Structure 1
Amino acid sequence: MTKELNTLLVALYVLVDDHVVPPRAGRGRRPELTDSELITLAVAQVLQRCPSERRWIRHVRSDLSWRAMFPAMLTQSGYHKRLKAAQPLLRKAIFTIAACCPSWFDDLWITDATPVPCGMSRETVKRSDLAGHASYGYCASHSRWYWGVKLYLVCAGDGMPIMWCLANPKLGEREVLAVLLERNHHLLRKGQTLLADKGFAGKQFKQLTEAMGLNLLRPDRKDETYRNGNLGGVRQRIESVNQTLKGQLDLERHGGRTPHGVFTRVAQRLLAMATVIWHNWTTGLTSKRSLIAYDH
C-alpha cells in the first residue's frame, strides 16, 4: 500500500462515515466490520485491480499493512453478501462525493452508453441468472457483438459520475436516457448543456430535453445540414472516461453473474473513479482522473 492510497482511503472513510452511513441505532450485536469500512474496502479492491473477491480477501489477510487498516476481516461469502446489501450506500456515496466537487456546478455535462459484457459463451447465455436483464448487443466503436448490459452514464467534464443506470442493450438509447433524465430531473439546472452522441438524435428526444431546460449538443449526422460539426475534440472526453473505467478499473472484468452482482460491481468502479477525482480535486492535482498514485 502506498502513502497516497492510504491517504485516499482514510479521507474516504471519514467522508462516508460522516455523511453516507447513518448512525447505528437499536439493539443487536454490532458488526465487527462497519459499513464505512466495507465501502472503503470495496473501493480499495477496485483501485488495486483485484476483481476476484476471494483473492482480495486473501490478500488483505496476508498483508500486514492491510491487516492493520482492516483488522476485522470477513470471509469471502460474508464480504459478498454485505457488499450486495450495501447497494443503496454505494449509490449514496457516489452522489455525496460528486456533490462535493467543483465540477458538480459545471454548465456542461456529457453522456454516453458503453457495453458491459457479462458472458462469452453460448452455455453462459443459456444458464445465466442474468437472462431477461442482459441480451445481445452490437458495439459499433469496436465492431463487435457482445452479451451483457449497457451502462448509461451522465458525468461532468472531469468524469465525475452524476447519474447512471444499467439497461438491456435491446432497448433504444434515447428511451433509456430519457427515463434516466426524468427520474433525476431534480439534479438538472435550466440552461445546462448536455453533450451526447449522434445516436441521441430525434425530434421527440430534443423536445424532451428542451422541456427540462437542457441544451442538447450532439454531432451532426450525415443526412443533416451543418450545425455543430463532429465535435470530435469535446466528445473525446466521454470516450476517455469510458476508457478509464474499462482499461484501469476493469469494468469488463467485473465478474458479476446475477443482476445484483453486476450492479454492485459496476457501482464499485464508479465509486472508485469518483473517489479518485474528488481526492485529486482536494489535493490540487492537475489531472483529476489520474490513478497512477493509487493503483499499485
Structure 2
Amino acid sequence: MSNELDTLLTALYVDLEDRVLPSLGWSRTHRRGRRPALGDAELLCLAVAQQLLGVASERHWIRYARAHLTGMFPQLPGQSGYGKRLRAAGPLIAAVITELARDVDSWHDVLRLVDSTPLPCAASRETVRRSDLAGHAGYGYCASHSRYFWGFRLYLICTA
C-alpha cells in the first residue's frame, strides 16, 4: 500500500470517528448483539480503499486486504461477513457521503452547469409530417455535429 493511500485512510478514519459519525448520531453502543470486531469507521475506510484501488470482487478485495492492510485493519472479517456488513451499512454510507460532500466548497454554490444534446426524432420531411410529435418537436442546429435536426433538445442541469 502506498503512503498516499495510507495517509488518506488514516485521515478519513479520524474524521469519521471524531466528527462525521457523531454528527449523524451514529453509535454502535445502542445496538443489540455482540459488538463487531471491525468498527463502522473501519468498514467505511475499507470500502473507500476498495473503490480507490478499483477492486470489484469482494473475494479479491478481502484477499488483498489480508495481504496488504492487516497493519491498519487487524480484525478483517471474511468475505461473506464483509459483504453482509457493507450491504447493511447502506444508509450509513449514503449519510456519510452526503456529510462529506457538504465539506466541499462547491456544495453551497448556486452555480448550475447546463449541457444539452440533440434528440432527433425524424430524418425526412415525410416522417416529420406524419409524426405524432409534429406539434411538440422542432428544428434545431447542433454545432458539435454541424448539422440541423428535427426533434428535441435534452438538457442536463447539475449542481452539487
**Distance in structure 2 (CA, Å) of the matches to 1:197 and 1:78:** 44
Counterpart contact for 1:20–1:96, Cα < 8 Å: no
Question: Where does residue 224 of structure 1 map in the other structure?
Answer: 140
Query: Does 2:96 correspond to 1:93?
Result: yes
**Distance in structure 2 (CA, Å) of the matches to 1:31 and 1:82:** 10
Question: Where does residue 32 of structure 1 map in the other structure?
Answer: 37
Q: Structure 1 counterpart of 2:140, which letter? A: E
Q: Given the two structures, how large is their TM-score scaled by the length of structure 2?
A: 0.67
**Distance in structure 1 (CA, Å) of the matches to 2:60 and 2:81:** 14
Query: Does 2:113 correspond to 1:197?
Result: no
Query: Does 2:53 correspond to 1:20?
Result: no
Instruction: Give unmatched runs, 5+ long, in structure 2.
Output: 120-136, 145-155
The CA deviation string for residues 177-206 of structure 1, in whole angstroms up to 9 with x for no partner, is: xxxxxxxxxxxxxxxx34143369xxxxxx
Q: Find the residue that maps to 1:100 and give its secondary structure.
A: coil
Counterpart contact for 2:21–2:27, Cα < 8 Å: no
Q: Structure 1 counterpart of 2:34, which letter? A: R
**Distance in structure 1 (CA, Å) of the matches to 2:21 and 2:138:** 47
**CA drift at 1:225:** 7.4
**Distance in structure 2 (CA, Å) of the matches to 1:20 and 1:198:** 41
Q: Find the residue that maps to 1:50 and give its secondary structure.
A: coil
Compute the RMSD of aligned alpha carbons. Answer: 2.7
Instruction: Give unmatched runs, 5+ long, in structure 1.
Output: 109-192, 201-220, 231-237, 239-296
Q: Percent identity of the aligned residues?
A: 44
Question: Where does residue 75 of structure 2 map in the other structure?
Answer: 72
Alignment match of 1:51 (pick from 56, 63, 75): 56
1:121-132 matches, within 5 Å, as: none
Q: How many residues align?
A: 123
**Distance in structure 2 (CA, Å) of the matches to 1:198 and 1:224:** 11
Higher RCO structure, 1 or 2 (CA under 8 Å, sep 6+)? 1
CA 222–13 in structure 1, closer or farther in 2 if over 3 Å, else same: farther
Structure 1 runs of 4+ off > 6 angstroms?
A: none
**Distance in structure 1 (CA, Å) of the matches to 2:73 and 2:6:** 12
**CA drift at 1:2:** 1.2
Q: Structure 2 counterpart of 1:73, which letter? A: L
Q: Structure 2 counterpart of 1:25, which letter? A: T
**Distance in structure 2 (CA, Å) of the matches to 1:102 and 1:222:** 40
Query: Does 2:14 correspond to 1:8?
Result: no
Q: Structure 2 counterpart of 1:39, which letter? A: L
**Distance in structure 2 (CA, Å) of the matches to 1:13 and 1:101:** 18
**CA drift at 1:83:** 0.6
1:104-253 matches, within 5 Å, as: 104-108=107-111, 193-198=112-117, 223-224=139-140
The CA deviation string for residues 189-248 of structure 1, in whole angstroms up to 9 with x for no partner, is: xxxx34143369xxxxxxxxxxxxxxxxxxxx982379xx76xxxxxxx9xxxxxxxxxx
